[in-house]
Amino acid sequence: QKEVEQNSGPLSVPEGAIASLNCTYSDRVSQSFFWYRQYSGKSPELIMSIYSNGDKEDGRFTAQLNKASQYVSLLIRDSQPSDSATYLCAVTRGNNFNKFYFGSGTKLNVKP
């Protein structure tokens, strides 16, 4: 079983819609969770971090964490064509906060 699982997509949404990206992880004691955006041919760029159960909002982005169900999600409101990218979920395992485990990413296409 992979540490972090993501649907590879592509996920297609129309401009202005809400995009919902999901990630599940295997280590029940994972404590730190991150969403990175990666444009084709570019390096990952941090979007959100979340450490506690519940929702965390930053502009059009909301991260949701449910440790009991071992999933973390990212909602993008009012999706724009410029949001089209691959979204990577990363988690840490146990008390090792420096080793990030990444999912394979979900490709998002926002259609104008």
Which residues are at the interface with another protein (CB under 8 A)?
4, 8, 31-32, 34, 36, 42-46, 49, 51, 88, 90, 92, 96-105
Maximum alpha-carbon separation in the chain: 43
CB of 85 to another protein, least distance (A): 13
Q: How far apart are CA 88 and CA 102, in angstroms?
A: 7
Closer residue to another protein (CB): 64 or 106 = 106
Terminal CA-CA length for the chain: 37
Beta carbon nearer to another protein, 41 or 112: 41
Instruction: Extract the tokens encoding 21.
Output: 């990206």
- The C-alpha atoms of residue 83 and residue 15 are separated, in whole angstroms, by 10
CB closer to another protein, 69 vs 98: 98
Give the nearest distance from C-beta 99 to another protein in angstroms: 5
Whole-angstrom Cα distance, residue 24 to residue 13?
Answer: 21
Q: Name which of 52 and 80 has its Cβ closer to another protein.
A: 52
Distance of closest approach, residue 89 Cβ to another protein, in angstroms = 8
To another protein, the closest distance from the beta carbon of 69 in angstroms equals 20
**Residue partners of 59: CB distance under 8 A and separation at least 6:** none
